[in-house]
Structure 1
């Protein structure tokens, strides 16, 4: 078919059944019809053959018959406080019993409703549908539905399925239910100290929390995603393109804080210190963050510590951690060990490495088991240090403590794609359609969750990931939270502008997120910037998920700045974001100059500058109108004034970028680039690019100035 052909009526029906959009409105409100070729390619990634009229007809029949072929749906996700339903498909006329086994172990019989479906003929036999009621007082948690079919219903269940009860609304943790609460936003790797090894680590995170919380009343520290990257060089610099989202990058370990390090022989301790000094010298010189050099030094030191052994009590604690994390940890660690053995990318590994379940694969796993245990130990060590950082934050008086960032997806050749095969789509990457800031669209190169694959797995991979991220945290920021509703799928070989949206079961995705957050006592902040369907924000607010407000982007329908008093209460409000230069650089229009140099603009640079300057001027005019800056203000006074303006909002959480506090001008990330710019490698520095180390923050005059603006008398409303 022609690349721009319009989908047929029946192809549209098939696409709708699988949540594949055939039309959408772009960032300027223009209607866009999705070409049939894109629809067919996206359906193929869901294992649906739609190439031709006959294939479409067969796929429609298969989709409509699928529920009738299964006794139970793959998973049932309900909200608490409401009567729910479970539909059971059985041979027509057969008696059926249904019960619910609660997470605590108690069994509850379910009542059958006087509501029948069918019969429907499937493979020549009639199939009926019975419906059972789930009581409204069923407790929150992960339960199991069990069904027995036939005259003799006393034996083993005929079918089982997970049933998840999620909170109708996630209530804010007690410490942030009233008033405004501020915290730092940091790219942890960039915040180096005189003791860390060339890269900010978890001990530095604890110090940041202790200083900002204990001395200045901060209630949280929001960090970049700490997800695990490759265990061998080259390590992907972007924290938003991890190898897995469930486990943590051991690069953030402070080697000296591992208990066994203290008991190393003096010769090993000396070697460890020499390795550390080389990395600390890079920090002092303000060099770009070199993850490969840092990890090479740390990995060698950590392997020495691991090989030195542990006491019986410590070994038992390690064993308990391995048992808790189960098969997921073992699979991840095995992938790391195979990367050690064969290098990356994994596409070059021997065939048996990818043939899960075969004897050859089992032999290979056994062969690398010792190295895999080292990677399991690394996860135990980093988990201990995460726990210590959160404990330090709580002791400093923080209401939330550490707030982690959850990336949208994972590396296409990473550990998750190796271990979670049926949960992820192939031949597809996630991205974003063109918008005002990225006018060519974005391709993030990440394989998306398969909506049907997640359901078949009972959402276990999603649950385990969310649960791990929240274990030692007071909150989580969900990057591109719209991805819980729909994601922009880009078929392989096409540009990001040629993709389309695929919908997810947002009731399940948001509900499970809320369930795990409630159990962790955590707040959830959704990054809802960019193209967002209005009802999505309504749903998130209803479920207790906070939104995000960035000062520069808050606009009325006519494009004028939205007064901060009209911002949302249930959100985290900030002046800037990591995808923009720090405010000092933004005020100078450096983001326009950078995109021009990198060829990322779709309109003349002069026009881009005019539009950008007008946008900035309209925001800055509010500062003068409200008396928040003196006449003819300096850059520093403007930065302070913008943070005073932030306080005029009703927003529950205020996020303050650490680079803004020291006058940094360099951006951490330029969207739409890879190696054209040193994304995610810029260390914390001042306006001249000179290094600012963690120990320097309390005495830094610009830090004190922003704190005074933020914590001084509130501006008049």
Structure 2
């Protein structure tokens, strides 16, 4: 077949972007503040307010002066690279992006647009780039739809294309020359004029990838006089179906900040044994079907450890802070001297379990790390050593690079480092890989232990009767000086950070400090880092919650040196991003929940629903057309619905207006306190009235009765999943996180306690009358 005069319609790569701001623009739909962002003055304001800062960064930009508009060529270049030259502001009006911002964002993408001449060169390069490749870097298709794939060869040359199917599902399809697992492709009758590129006349042939190929990753190959080409081919599910256990019913589960859920054996912070025990007890004794935990992503390997679970050093690997030392197999074979060392470390941390002060991760990790160093020295059995070696082989270079980064931080302190340590392939890093081999092995070993203990937690959840089990949380991004930035190279854009545009409540915009995925580089490596982190998170999960799922469609990029307001949106290939997510979830048998609060156009939610991705509904945000509480029966079926979330005050705290009092004490209010209290009370009374109209609440209810009535309301929704904050189950009033603060409030360090501030340990949780009463109310649903 020859690449001559076949024409195909152009399909936009990224699809239609939603209108309006993302995580920072006003919308009539529900929204919430970003982790560690400034809390609105009431939950009503949270629904329409903006996120006020980054997870852990607190950086807020200045409003930029008016800038000259971009030229037509610069606009074309921006569009060619998925950069928005304009967008809809929070008030619905169009906003033209300045030329300087477009140049800055393009620069972060590696495109030089600094002069008109270079813009023209870059435009030609963007137009020629696909023609320089025989095949696209990667092809992602839905199983039932197939695709048309362009193949570029010297004009007039013959070319043939086929798929090497990976997996036994592919056996039995028509195979050329009797080769099992091979599918020959047919050329489409599409005419495209040849193009002269770099002095060579290049033709395009269009081949048809058939529908109904087996799900998974395959290899697309071409061959002919012009040479050979290869490209990974991902066949993804059309949609994720709910598991049979959820097909015709709604189930409820607990939402917890794991570090805050301590037992008397926790070493000062909740751990993976506590997670397993919580899953067993809540499943067996209360009928819960899942436990949603905060992101367990790895933080720094040495003190000080970033408290926010939403600003990790990597999203692929686990924070060993959550290990239970005594559950490590080799801990049972310690000699008396080594046992004494471990016990001495434990004493320092175990005392913290009954300390009602903020959780001190640094003390906890210092004690655990010392004990784990002792256990690491114990010889492993041949079988255990073989299992560890297999884990290292399976996780490959990604694990080894992360472990090397940890060893370097331990030796040299956190980045920035000298040039010879700039990345894993730098000369100093190569030397360190040998010099620090023992410490690299230690940090790989910690990840193996975490994998084992996560597997135990999920297995225990299923044994307790949970249909879903452990639900993990995937953070938006990573720390700008973390392991992923060091190890993943250009796949993360170094010249920009992620944030949100200005809106009515945050006219300066928001800068979250996190480097974004580079769309073209991510595509160039066939989404390998994205696939790797999804597989790790999903390995021992019944479900995963994707924080800020709109980030798989587009993100607000802020060029380095710009204010938060001086950014624009960069588009991602959402069909590929969501498709790969669906494929990996299908392989894991996991449910996917997208945090779709905020300014998200209906088409995006429709798209996610069509792919079987659940949304997120928060009771305080769900309103009907008149602004009244949305009736339970009108909630979405495909949703994780809850009364509150970790980004809002616990329900008891909201009812008592403690969130207003706290913000007043900290000087965070931007309106008179009387107005703030009045808004909070108005919203609360509207909800109480709705509860009474439904017969769920009496005239003079107690706080406990109101909390239970709110949960009965949400339990009556058709939503597949209903989340219950463990803080609500014990009457806690303190927020886990007070956005807009740093040291003024112990963000992400609040231990679980009741409404009187008394610690609630896991050992005592299921004897709590308040917990059991709420569980009984949930069972009525």
Q: Same fold (TM over 0.5)?
A: yes
> Is structure 2 residue 328 aligned with structure 1 residue 258?
yes
CA distance in 1, matches of 2:65, 2:116: 15
**Which of 69, 76, 79 matches 2:139?**
76
The CA distance in 1 between the partners of 2:483 and 2:676, in whole Å, is: 41
Please name the residue that 2:600 is paired with. Answer: 532
- Greater mean alpha carbon deviation, residues 120-129 or residues 28-37: 28-37
Q: Partner residue of 1:132?
A: 207
Residue 51 of structure 1 is matched in structure 2 by 114
Q: Aligned in 2, Cα 1:509/1:376: closer, same or farther, shift over 3 Å?
A: same
Cα separation, 1, equivalents of 2:486 and 2:251: 41
One of 498, 522, 542 as aligned partner of 1:454? 522
Q: Does the alignment pair 1:9 with 2:77?
A: no
Determine whether 1:480 maps to 2:555.
no
**Counterparts of 2:502 and 2:294 in 1: how far apart (Å)?**
25
Whether the 8 Å CA contact 2:421–2:427 is kept in 1: the answer is no
1:315 aligns with 2:385: yes
Select which of 142, 149, 165 maps to 1:102.
Answer: 165
Pairs aligned (count):
706
Q: Is the 8 A contact 1:229 1:249 kept in 2?
A: yes
| Aligned match of 1:158 | 228
| Structure 1 residues 379-432: Cα deviation after superposition (integer angstroms, max 9, x where no partner) | 001100000000000000000100000000011011100110111011211123
Q: Name the counterpart of 1:173.
A: 243
**Partner residue of 1:115?**
190
Secondary structure class of the residue paired with 1:15: helix
Contact 1:3 1:36 (8 Å CA) reproduced: no
Q: 2:272 aligns with which of 193, 198, 202?
A: 202
Q: Relative contact order (C-alpha < 8 Å, sep 6+): which is higher? A: 2
1-structure distance, mates of 2:744, 2:368: 28
- Contact 2:492 2:515 survives alignment (8 Å): yes
Aligned match of 1:148: 223
CA distance in structure 2 between the aligned counterparts of 1:530 and 1:26, rounded to whole angstroms = 14
1:603-651 deviation per Cα after TM superposition (whole angstroms, max 9, x unaligned) = 4444333333322322222112112111122222211111011122111
- Correspondence 1:369 to 2:432: no
2:499 match: secondary structure:
strand
- The alpha-carbon deviation at position 663 of structure 1 amounts to 0.8
SS at 1:476 equivalent: strand
Task: Give 1:150 shift.
Answer: 0.5
Hey, what does 1:92 align to over in structure 2?
155
- SS in structure 2 at match of 1:194: coil
Per the TM alignment, residue 245 of structure 1 is displaced from its structure 2 partner at its CA by: 0.6
Map 1:414-453; keep pairs closer than 5 Å: 414-434=482-502, 441-453=509-521
Change (3 A) 1:325 1:684: same
Following superposition, the deviation at residue 124 of structure 1 comes to 2.1
Partner of 1:609: 677
Matching residue of 1:154 = none
Given candidates 708, 713, 717, the residue that maps to 2:776 is 708
Structure 1 residue 573 corresponds to structure 2 residue 641: yes
Query: Aligned match of 1:284 in 333, 351, 354?
Result: 354
2:88 equivalent in structure 1: 25
Aligned counterpart in structure 1 of residue 475 of structure 2, from 407, 431, 454: 407
Measure the CA separation in 2 of the matches of 1:627 and 1:282.
44
CA displacement at 1:294 relative to structure 2? 0.5
Structure 2 contact 222–228 (Cα < 8 Å) conserved: yes
**Aligned mates of 2:731, 2:506 — CA distance in 1:** 26
- Contact conserved, 2:254 with 2:292, CA < 8 A, in 1? yes
1:440-497 CA-to-partner distances (Å, cap 9, x unmatched) read 5432211111111110010010001001100011010000111111112222333433
In 2 relative to 1, CA 455–381 (structure 1 residues): closer, same or farther, beyond 3 Å? Answer: same
Matched with 2:100 is 37
SS of residue in 2 equivalent to 1:628: coil
Unaligned runs of 5+ in 1: 152-156
How far apart are residue 677 of structure 1 and its match? 2.1
Is 1:398 matched up with 2:466? yes
> How far apart are the structure 1 equivalents of 2:669 and 2:232?
49
Deviation of the 1:298 alpha carbon: 0.4
Deviation of 1:269 after TM superposition, in Å, equals 1.5
- 1:469 lines up with 2:469 in the alignment: no
Report the equivalent of 2:734: 666
Counterpart Cα distance in 2 of 1:557 and 1:18: 39
Corresponding position of 1:337: 407
Q: Per-residue displacement from partner, 1:335-385 (whole Å, max 9, x unpaired)?
A: 1111111011x10x2321115435443222211111100000000011000
Once residues 234 and 73 of structure 2 are traced to their aligned partners in structure 1, the CA distance between those partners, rounded to angstroms, is 34
1:238 aligns to what? 308
Change (3 A) 1:52 1:559: farther
For residue 501 of structure 1, give the secondary structure of its aligned residue in structure 2: strand
User: What is the correspondence of 1:480-519 to structure 2 with a 5 Å cutoff?
Assistant: 480-519=548-587
Residues 50, 2 of structure 1: CA spacing in aligned structure 2 closer, same or farther, 3 A cutoff?
A: farther
Q: Report the 3-state secondary structure (helix = DSSP H, G, I; strand = E; otherwise coil) of the residue aligned with 1:565.
A: helix
Check whether the contact 1:394–1:400 (CA below 8 A) recurs between aligned residues. yes
Question: Residue 352 of structure 1 contacts residue 364 of structure 1 at CA under 8 Å; is this kept in 2?
Answer: no
Structure 1: how far apart are the matches of 2:388 and 2:565? 48
Q: How far apart in 2 are the matches of 1:496 and 1:144?
A: 42
How far apart are 1:601 and its partner, in Å? Answer: 4.5
Is the contact made by 1:98 and 1:147 (CA closer than 8 Å) also made in structure 2?
yes
Displacement of 1:528: 0.6
Judge conservation of contact 2:287–2:779 (CA < 8 Å) in 1. no
Q: CA deviation at 1:5?
A: 2.7
Secondary structure of 1:116 counterpart? coil
Give yes or no for contact 1:435–1:530 (8 Å, CA) kept in 2: no
TM-score by length of 2: 0.88
Q: Structure 1 14/602 Cα, relative in aligned 2: closer, same or farther at 3 Å?
A: farther
SS at match of 1:99: strand
Compared CA separation, residues 381 and 440, structure 1 to 2 (3 A):
same
Post-superposition CA distance 1:13-65 (Å, at most 9, x none): 22222222233334454443333322221111101122333232222211111
Q: Specify which of 124, 127, 131 is matched with residue 61 of structure 1.
A: 124
The match for 2:61 is: none
**Aligned-pair RMSD on alpha carbons?**
1.9
* Cα distance between partner residues in 2 of 1:702 and 1:64: 64
Structure 2 vs 1, CA of residues 28 and 601 (structure 1 numbering), >3 Å: closer, same or farther? farther
CA deviation vs aligned residue, 1:251-282 (integer Å, no higher than 9, x gap): 10100000100110122222222322322221
Instruction: Spell out, residue by residue over 1:581-602, the C-alpha distance to the aligned partner (whole angstroms, 9 max, x if none).
Output: 1111112333334444445444
